[in-house]
Structure 1
C-alpha cells in the first residue's frame, strides 16, 4: 500500500499521531513533499524502538512516543521533495535524516529530486547508502550537486551493484563529475535506466561514461540529452552500448553533433539491433552525417521512433535517410521537420513512404515541399493507411499542391491531427479540401491558419466537413475571411457539435460576420476557447456574440482583443456574465431545494476564466460596468484591459480594491484584474501572458470521461495547440 502525507504542512508531533492510526506492517510506501521535519526526526527514533526501548526518547528537545512506528522500518518506497517549500536543507537536519535512512535496509526506491541538497547533502547521503543494500532506484535530479557531488556519488555507487534505475538530470555535474560517476556505473551490473540530461557534459565526460557503460549489459534506456557532447562523444556512448542486449531507447538530442563524415558510426550502429527509439534532433546533422546514419539503419530492424528534426539535412542527406528508413518495417514515428530537404530528397522520400505501412506519425513541417513536391507526395501518402498525425506546415504548398494531396488524404481514414498552417492555400485549395474530407471521420485537430483563404473557398459543399463530427480543434486564423465568407463558414461549424477550440482571429469578419458567428456558436455547448481578435468588431458585433455565448457553460477563454469595442460592448459583456450567473443559480436551486445551495453555486457558476479586451476603445465608464459584476459576484475571472482609454479609478472601485487586496490569496485573479485594468496605456507595451490560464489538457482526447468518442483510443491524442491563444502584434487602432 501507499501512504501519502504530501498534502499538508504537518508538524513532528502531528506526523506521529497520524502514523499511530495506521496498522502496523500495512504501509510499505510513504511520500512526503512539504514539511520534512517530522520524517527527519522520526526515522532516527525507529532505531531505538527496534532495540525495545519502552519509554519516550528525547532527541534535541523533542520528545515523542514510538509505540506503533515500527512499520516504518519496512518502508520500500520513500519519496521526498522540497520543491514545494522552495528552500534548501539544513545541513544538520539532513545529516540526521541520512542517519535514519541508513537503517531502512529494505528500501527499494529513493526519490529526493528537487530537494536542493547540494554537494554537502550528497556527502551525508553517500554515507547512508552504504548500508542500503536493497536499493534499486535513485532519483536525485534537480539538486545542483555539481562536480563535487558527482565525485562523491561515484565513490558511493561503487558498492551499489544492485541499482537498476539512476536519474541525475539537471545537476551540472560536468566532465569531471561524469568521469567519477562512470567508475560507479561500471559496477552496476543490474542497471537498466540511466538519465543524465542537462548536465553540461562534454566529449571527455561522454568518453568516460562510454567506458563505464560497457559492463552494464542490461541497460534498456539511456538519456544523456541536452549536453555539450559532440561527434566523438556520441561514438563513445554508442561504443559503450554495443554490449547492451536490451537497449531500446537512446536520446542524443540537443548535442553538438556536426556534419562530418564518420566511418566508425556504422560500425557501432551495427550492434544496436534492439533499439526502438532514437532521438538525434536539435543538432547540426547535415548530408555527410545523414549518409553515415542511413547505412546503420539497415541493422536496426526494431526501430519504431526516429527523430531527426531541427537539423540541416538537405537534398543529398534526405535521399540517404530515405534509403535507410525504407528498411525499417516497424517504423511508426518519423520526424524530419526543420530541415532543408529539397526536390531530390522529397522524391526519394516518397518512394520510401510506400514501404512504411505501419507509419502513424509523420512530421515534415518547415521544409520546402511546395506544389510540385506535393503532387509527388500524393503517391506516398495514399499508402499510409495507418497514419494518425500529419504535419505539413511551413512548406509553401499552394492550391495546386493541396488539390493533389487531397486525393491521397481522403484514404487516411484514421487521421486525427492534420496541420496545413503557414502555407499558400487559397480558395481553390480550401474548396478541394472540404470536399475530400468526407472519410476523415476520426479527425480531431485541423489547422488551416496563416493561409490566404478568402470567401470562395468556403462556398463549397459541406458534405465532407459535416462528416468531421469528432473535430475538437479548428484554427482558421490569419486568413482573409470577410463577412460573406463567415456566412458559409457557419455551415462548417454548426454541425461540429464537439468543437472545443475555435480560432478565427486575424480575419475581416466585422459586425455582420459576428452576428452569424453568434448564431452558430450557441449550439456548440462544449466550446471552451473562442478567439475573435483582430476582426474589426464593434459594440454591435459584441451584442450578437454575447447572445451566442449565453448558454456556453464550459466556455473559459474569450479573446476579443484588437477590435473596436467600446463602453457599450463592455456593458453588454457585463450583463452576459451576470445573466449566466443567475441562470446557473436558478438551475441549481430548481434541482436542489432541500439544502443550502450557496456553496454549490460558488463552485458551479460562470465558467469563464479569461476575457481579453485589450487594445479596444473602452473608457472608465466601461470599467465600472465590468467591475460591478465581477466584484459583486466574486468571480475568479481575469479581464485584460491593457491599451484602452482607462485613466481614472472611481471611488467605489478604490474602496473595494483595498478590501480585496487583503484577500489576494483567496481571489488573486480579481486583484490582478484591478491592477491591470487601471494601468496607464501610453505607447505600445508587450502584453503579459503570464497569468493566462492553460487549457491544453482540456483539449486532449482523454480530458473528459463523459465524452463517448473513441474511448478506446483517447490516451494517444493531444490537441497540440498553444493555449494562450493570443499574440503580440504591432498594430494599433
Structure 2
C-alpha cells in the first residue's frame, strides 16, 4: 500500500521515464492532469529542437521545465530573419531553469553572439554554453567577453572552430581577469596565433578559477608556448592544458618544461603533433624527474625518435606520479621499445602506455614482454600498427601467462596471423586479468578463430574481443559460436568485415539461443542476406541479454527486415539496431514502423521512415 499516489514518488516516475521514448512520454502526459503533472517535467528536462522533433512553440509552452536545450541548425536556419533569430536567443536565455544550452553548428555569427551576450548579462542559471562551429569572429568574442565580466553563473564555454583570432583572444583575456566562475574554456581552432596565446597567458597569471583550457590547432608557435610557460609559473588552478597541433617545436617544449619544474597544479598536458623532436622530449624528461603532479602526458606524433624515447625512459625510472603516457607515431623503433621496457621494470605508477605506429617490430614487442613479466601496475598497453607479427604475439603470450595486472591489450593491424592468434589463445586459457583484446585488421583467418574459440571455452575474464577484418569467414564464425554457447563472461564481440555470410549468421544465431552474457554484437559488412537475418531473428525472439546489434552494410533486404520485425514484437531487451545500407525499400521501412508501435525499447538507425 503506497502512502501516496505512486506517480508522486520521483523514483518511480524516473524509472518509468527511462523505459519510454520521447513520444511515449508525451502521450503519458496527455492521459490526465495527474499524469501531465508527473510526466511533462520529465519530457522537457532535456530536449532537442530539430526538424523532426519538438518545435520552438513546444519549448515556449514548457520552457520553465527545461534544464538542457539543444537547438539543431534545421530549426535555427528556418527562422526568416536575423531579428527573429535574436528573439529566439533572448527567449531561451530568459528561461530561469535552463542550465545547458547547445547551439553548435548554427552559424549564429557575430550578431547571434551579441544577442547571447546581452542575455548572459542578466542570466543567473546557465552553466554550460556550446557555441562551436558558429562563424563567430572577433566582434562576437568581444561581445561575449563583455558578458563574462558580469555573468557569475557560466562555468563552461565552448567556442571551438570559430574565427575569434588574436583580437578575440585578447577580449576573452580581459574577461578572464574579472570573471570568477568559468572553469572550462575551449578555443580550439580559432587562429589565435602567438599574440592570442600571449593575451590569454596574461589573464592566467591573475585568474584563479579556470581549470581547463583547450587551445588545440591555433598556431601559437614557440612564442605562444613561452608565454603560457610564464603563466604556469604563477597560476595555481589550471589542471588541464591542451595544446595539440600548435607548431611549438623544441623551443616551446623547452619553455613549458621549465614551468613544469615548479608548477604544482597541472595534471594533464597534451602536446601531440607539435614537432618537439628529441630535444623537446629531453626537456620534458628533465621536468618529469622533479614534477610531482603531472599524471597524463600526450606526446604523440612528435618525431622524438629513439633518443627522445631514451630520455623519457630515464624520467620514468624516477617519476612516481605519471599514470598515462602516449607516445604513438614517434618513429623510435625497436630501440625505443627496448629502453621503455627497461623503465617499465622499475616504474611502479604508469597504468596506461600507448605506443601505436612506432615500427617496434617483433623485437620491440619481445622487449616489452620481458618488462610485463615483472611490472605490476600497467593495465593498458596499445601496440597497434607496429608490425609485431607472430613472433611478437608469441612473446606477449609468454608475458600474459605470468602478468596479473594488464587488462587491455591493443594489437590492431600488427600483421598477426593464425600462429600469433594460436599463441595468444594459449595464454588466454590461464590468464585471469585481461578483459579487452583488440586483434582487429590482422589475418588470423579461420585457424586463428578456432584457437581463440578454444580459449574462450575456459577463459573467464575476457569481456571484449575485437576481430574486425580478419577474414575468418563462415567457418570462423561457426567455431566462435560454439564457444559462445558455454562462455559466460564475453559481453562485446566485434566481427565486422569478416565475410561470415548467411552460414556464419546462422551459427551465431544458434549461439544466441543459449548465451546469456553477450550484450553487443557487431556484424557490419559481412555479406549477410535475408536468410542470415532470418536466422538471427529466430534467436532474438528468445534472447534476453543482447542490447546492440549492428548489421550495417549487408544485404538483408525487405525479406530480412520482415523477419527482424517479427522478432522485435517479442524481444524486449534490444535497444540499438543499425540497419544502414541494407537494400531496404519502402515495404521494409513500413514493416519496421509497424514493429516500433509495439516494441518500445529498440532504436533503429540507418533507415528512412516516411
Cα deviations by residue, 1:232-258 (Å, 9 ceiling, x for unpaired):
101101111211234422222232223
Please state whether the residue corresponding to 2:392 is helix, strand or coil. helix
What's the counterpart of residue 606 of structure 2?
Answer: 691
The 5-angstrom pairing of residues 236-247 of structure 1 reads: 236-247=199-210
Cα distance in 1 between the residues matched to 2:336 and 2:207 = 41
- The Cα of 1:609 is off from its aligned counterpart by 3.3
What's the counterpart of residue 340 of structure 1?
Answer: 303
Larger radius of gyration, structure 1 or 2? 1
Partner residue of 1:357 out of 320, 328, 337: 320
Partner residue of 2:45 out of 27, 31, 34: 31
The 5-angstrom pairing of residues 161-310 of structure 1 reads: 165=127, 167-170=129-132, 171-188=134-151, 193-216=156-179, 219-259=182-222, 264-310=227-273
- Asked whether the 8 Å contact 1:527–1:552 carries over to 2, the reply is no
In structure 1, stretches of 5+ residues that fail to align are 44-74, 96-116, 585-603, 616-621, 644-652, 670-688, 693-733
- The Cα of 1:292 is off from its aligned counterpart by 1.9
C-alpha RMSD of matched pairs (Å)? 4.7
What's the counterpart of residue 106 of structure 1?
Answer: none
Q: TM-score, normalised by structure 1?
A: 0.65
- The Cα of 1:387 is off from its aligned counterpart by 3.0
Cα distance in 1 between the residues matched to 2:501 and 2:89 = 62
The 5-angstrom pairing of residues 7-22 of structure 1 reads: 7=22, 17=33
- The Cα of 1:90 is off from its aligned counterpart by 10
- Whether 1:119 aligns to 2:86 is yes
- Asked whether the 8 Å contact 1:550–1:576 carries over to 2, the reply is no
In structure 2, stretches of 5+ residues that fail to align are 1-8, 48-53, 598-603
Cα distance in 2 between the residues matched to 1:261 and 1:153 = 30
- The Cα of 1:458 is off from its aligned counterpart by 4.7
Please state whether the residue corresponding to 1:214 is helix, strand or coil. helix
Cα deviations by residue, 1:212-239 (Å, 9 ceiling, x for unpaired):
3222356543332332211110110111
- Asked whether the 8 Å contact 1:426–1:457 carries over to 2, the reply is yes
What's the counterpart of residue 419 of structure 1?
Answer: 382
What's the counterpart of residue 446 of structure 1?
Answer: 409
Cα distance in 2 between the residues matched to 1:211 and 1:611 = 52
Please state whether the residue corresponding to 2:213 is helix, strand or coil. strand
- The Cα of 1:410 is off from its aligned counterpart by 3.3
Cα distance in 2 between the residues matched to 1:39 and 1:277 = 36
Alignment coverage as a number of residue pairs: 565
Please state whether the residue corresponding to 1:665 is helix, strand or coil. helix
- Asked whether the 8 Å contact 1:475–1:503 carries over to 2, the reply is yes
Please state whether the residue corresponding to 1:362 is helix, strand or coil. strand
- The Cα of 1:474 is off from its aligned counterpart by 2.4
Distance 1:507 1:264, change over 3 A: closer
Cα deviations by residue, 1:695-714 (Å, 9 ceiling, x for unpaired):
xxxxxxxxxxxxxxxxxxxx
The 5-angstrom pairing of residues 293-332 of structure 1 reads: 293-332=256-295
- Asked whether the 8 Å contact 2:436–2:462 carries over to 1, the reply is yes
Higher percent of residues as helix: 2
Cα deviations by residue, 1:633-665 (Å, 9 ceiling, x for unpaired):
45786668869xxxxxxxxx9xxx766554553
Cα distance in 2 between the residues matched to 1:81 and 1:42 = 12
The 5-angstrom pairing of residues 442-521 of structure 1 reads: 442-458=405-421, 460=423, 464-507=427-470, 509=472, 516-521=479-484
- Asked whether the 8 Å contact 2:581–2:606 carries over to 1, the reply is no
Please state whether the residue corresponding to 2:178 is helix, strand or coil. coil
Distance 1:498 1:640, change over 3 A: farther
Cα distance in 2 between the residues matched to 1:39 and 1:513 = 52
Distance 1:392 1:467, change over 3 A: farther
The higher-RCO structure (CA 8 Å, 6+ apart) is 2
What's the counterpart of residue 493 of structure 2?
Answer: 529
What's the counterpart of residue 609 of structure 1?
Answer: 549
What's the counterpart of residue 79 of structure 1?
Answer: 67
Please state whether the residue corresponding to 1:350 is helix, strand or coil. helix
- Asked whether the 8 Å contact 1:425–1:451 carries over to 2, the reply is yes
- Asked whether the 8 Å contact 1:339–1:366 carries over to 2, the reply is yes
Distance 1:296 1:42, change over 3 A: closer
